[in-house]
Structure 1
Amino acid sequence: MTTLPALSVLDLVPVRSDQSSGDAVRATISLARTADDLDYERFWMAEHHNMPAVASTNPPVLIAMVAGATSRIRVGSGGVMLPNHAPLVVAEQFALLEAAHPGRIDLGIGRAPGTDGVTSWALRHGAGGVSEDNVTHFPEYVDNVIAMMDAEGVGVRVQGRTHVLNATPHATSVPTIWLLGSSDYSARLAAQKGLPYVFAHHFSGSGTAEALELYRSTFRPSPELAEPRTFLTVNASVAESAEEAYRLALPQLLTMLALRSGRPLAAQVLVEEAEKRELGADEQSLVDAMAQRWVIGDPAGAREDLLTLAATYGVDEVMVNPVAGAHVGTEPGSAPAREETLRLLVS
């Protein structure tokens, strides 16, 4: 049998209609332990705000919980949306996480706000939110985070004097820093700075080949990285039959349908609730188009899809976002179909 690429996990801490935020977090911790036991490479959590179906508002807090509940797997952010935060705060958070779990922490950095404009404004205590200035200075902020986490610290000039700034005292290692994106901007910046890069294929679904080619063809070696290093993300729902896998994917497909069509968002519905939803022709067409880009199927079919993805885009790692939903009666603090997706992919 052809060897699968290395597999990792992306998690948004989805919140179902039968769950509280606490239930969703408990399900994520259980999912991470499953990934750890199955030898997945890494477990990343995204940053999203003010969304009724997503509880991953604070990656550093979640990373601390997941890293403490697992023993081997790398844990990180997919990603921290840097324009939302002061670079020093991010550097301090991840320097401490690396100190507590050396060699296991990834800092994935993104440029998008991950939320609506009002929430972006509130993230900076009403001081302007994600402004054009924040986005314009994104490359500088990336440099600041990297410099502040260095064991030697960084010199900062304030009122004519240079002050040494350290994210944490006596650091012995630093997290691996990745740039994330769904357009060519971060691909170009990662190549310029000699950083590893991840394309959000699970979200965009288009432009993947162009972004990865741009990254590889313009890559400049750095002290941290001699050659381009990249992988991509994909949504996945795997079950014993392709029919059941699609049923389990339907709640997330409906959530994405609402997001793409600008409709009010709600907690993720259960499978039986999703099946009662009648779709118009245009809605069904959009759902079908999204499903075509996802990995939805039985174990053999899903593994073949992953192999095709890896070969098509020339990557040796794929990060799976397990989107399988839950049936009525599922224990709220669990996500058995998401865990089963991970198991079936490597069985």
Structure 2
Amino acid sequence: MNATTAPALSVLDLVPVRTGQSSAQAMTASLALISLADRLGFRRYWFAEHHNMPAVAASAPPVMVAAAAARTSRIRVGSGGVMLPNHAPLVVAEQFAALEALAPGRIDLGIGRAPGSDPVISALLRSSGPTADVERFPAHVQDILALMRREGATVRLATGETYDVRATPAADAAPTVWLLGSSDYSARLAAELGLPYVFAHHFAGAGVQEALRLYREGYQPSEAFPEPRTFLTLNAVVADTQDEADARALPQLRSMARLRSGRPMGPLETVEQAQAAPSDTLSAQLIDDMRARWLIATPDVAAAELAAFAARYGADEVMLVPVAGSRDGEPLDATPGRERTLELLAG
């Protein structure tokens, strides 16, 4: 890829779990993947938050971020994102202030508004009472920003007295806060607060142009970010041949088709299981629609498509979701297809 047109590359990891694989093995594979991304020069590596999904082990981003920071030396690590309706703002601020102290200058706090699961799990996550009501999302984002500052925040008590609160007692710096979204709402809020913005293209390709336009045109400069800053996520499978890329993409495509059609979910199939499984008209149509929005290619084609993708949306960075499936017989504590995707894209 031409260095003048190549976007910076980052990684979003959902910690996929395949058939016969334990959560421990899936996490081991992801931690090996971030070590590789660090060596290859990727800009940042984020962990998602999802709950009660058989094929996804990324339910606790701060835990994975801490483990990843301890195994790397250069790459930025963070959440993509913490789903704020599930958490008290002070807890989020304390966790990420602590992470910043452990890995100074390398922590990103990506914040999302969605629950990351279904209504039953959302209710369980809030069983001790409402923590971050969706309607109060803008205020809670601002609370987190204030709590992580060196001077902290001031709370006014019912008595009229004030009370100082800090996420950590002696902060040198704060993590970089990003707003994540796939709608006009998050784009407008990020613009209003002067925060960088990430559009979740990997699961919501529609509406990206309008969201970015609203963000850039409505942007209110902040001290930390005088100019708007954004990037997009993109599902990616890159292999040495097109046939191999297509084969490695099939397990995740089939899993997403089940999710979008409301069918029961399970661990990710292996490539061979996915190829042997019967198809149907609905799944085939969903897979075709998704395939058109994903990056499934050989290295040269992928490089050209990435450059065009970044140019189309005016982004200098693309966050890849490496979704290459595994083959029968490959180690359960490794993820060769995802590793190869990063190696080929790094050149």
- Bin the TM-score by the shorter chain: over 0.9
Which residue number corresponds to residue 341 of structure 2?
A: 341
Aligned residues: CA RMSD: 1.0
Q: Which moved more, 1:88-97 or 1:304-313?
A: 304-313
Aligned-residue offset at 1:14:
0.5
Which of 81, 84, 89 aligns to 1:82? It is: 84
1:205 CA drift (Å): 1.1
- The count of aligned residue pairs is 344
SS at match of 1:56: coil
Query: Partner amino acid for 2:210?
Result: E
Looking at structure 2, the residues matched to 85 and 285 of structure 1 have their Cα atoms a distance apart, in angstroms, of 37
Q: Could you say which residue in structure 2 is the equivalent of 1:207? A: 207
1:118-138, CA deviations, whole angstroms, 9 ceiling, x for partnerless residues? 1111112353587xxx11100
Equivalent residues of 2:19, 2:269 under 8 A apart: yes
Aligned runs of 1:60-79 on 2, under 5 Å?
A: 60-79=62-81
List per-residue Cα deviations over 1:260-280 (Å, max 9, x = no partner).
Answer: 000011000100000011212
Separation in 2 of the partners of 1:228 and 1:91? 23
Structure 2 counterpart of 1:218, which letter?
A: G
Q: Which residue of 1 aligns with 2:41?
A: 39
Task: State the Cα distance separating 1:159 from its structure 2 match.
Answer: 2.6
Match of 2:272 in 1: 272
Equivalent residue, structure 2, for 1:217: 217
Aligned-partner Cα distance in 1 for 2:35–2:130: 39
Question: Which of the residues 115, 118, 121 maps onto 2:117?
Answer: 115
The match for 2:292 is: 292
Q: How does 1:101-140 map to 2 (within 5 A)?
A: 101-127=103-129, 134-140=133-139
Aligned AA (1:144): D
Q: Report what 2:244 is aligned to.
A: 244
TM-score w.r.t. length of structure 2? 0.98
Q: TM-score, normalised by structure 1?
A: 0.98
Aligned equivalents of 1:65, 1:189: Cα separation in 2: 31
Deviation at 1:78, TM superposition (A): 0.3
Task: Name the CA distance, whole Å, in 2 between partners of 1:238 and 1:339.
Answer: 10
Partner SS, residue 292 of structure 2: helix
Partner of 2:57: 55
The answer to whether the 8 A contact 1:147-1:153 is kept is yes
**C-alpha distance in structure 2 between counterparts of 1:159 and 1:280, whole Å:** 61
Contact 2:238–2:340, Cα closer than 8 Å, also in 1 = yes
Matched residues in 2 for 1:19 and 1:69: separation? 22
Structure 1 portions without partners, runs of 5+: none
Show the counterpart of 2:174: 174
SS of the equivalent of 2:341 reads helix
Instruction: State whether residues 238 and 245 of structure 1, in contact with CA within 8 Å, keep that contact through their aligned partners in structure 2.
Output: yes
Q: How many angstroms apart in 1 are the aligned matches of 2:131 and 2:2?
A: 48
Gaps of 5+ in 2: none
Greater mean alpha carbon deviation, residues 116-125 or residues 199-208: 116-125
Secondary structure at the counterpart of residue 290 of structure 2: helix
**Aligned partners of 2:265, 2:252: CA distance in 1, in Å?**
12
Q: In structure 1, what is the equivalent of residue 155 of structure 2? A: 156
The residue matched to 1:106 in structure 2 has which SS? strand
Q: Which amino acid aligns with 1:233?
A: T
Q: Deviations over 1:162-188 (max 9, x none)?
A: 110010011001000000001111000
Aligned to 1:5: 7
Q: Residue 158 of structure 1: CA displacement?
A: 2.0
What is aligned with 1:327? 327
Paired with 1:299 and 1:7, the residues of 2 have a C-alpha distance of 14
**Does 1:26 find its partner at 2:25?**
no
Correspondence for 1:146: 145
CA-CA distance at 1:308 after TM superposition: 1.1
Aligned match of 1:229: 229
Change (3 A) 1:163 1:128: closer
Q: Which residue of 2 aligns with 1:281?
A: 281
Quick one: distance in 2 between partners of 1:282 and 1:200?
24
For 1:277-332, what per-residue CA distance to the aligned partner results, in whole angstroms no more than 9, with x for missing partners?
Answer: 12122321110110110000111111111011001101000000000000001111
- Alpha-carbon separation, structure 2, partners of 1:232 and 1:332: 30
Tell me which amino acid in the other structure corresponds to 2:235. Answer: N
SS at structure 2 position matched to 1:63: helix
Structure 2 residue identity aligned to 1:135: V
Per-residue CA distance 1:28-78 (angstroms, 9 max, x = gap): 000000100000000000000010000000000000000101111000000
Aligned residue type for 1:335: T
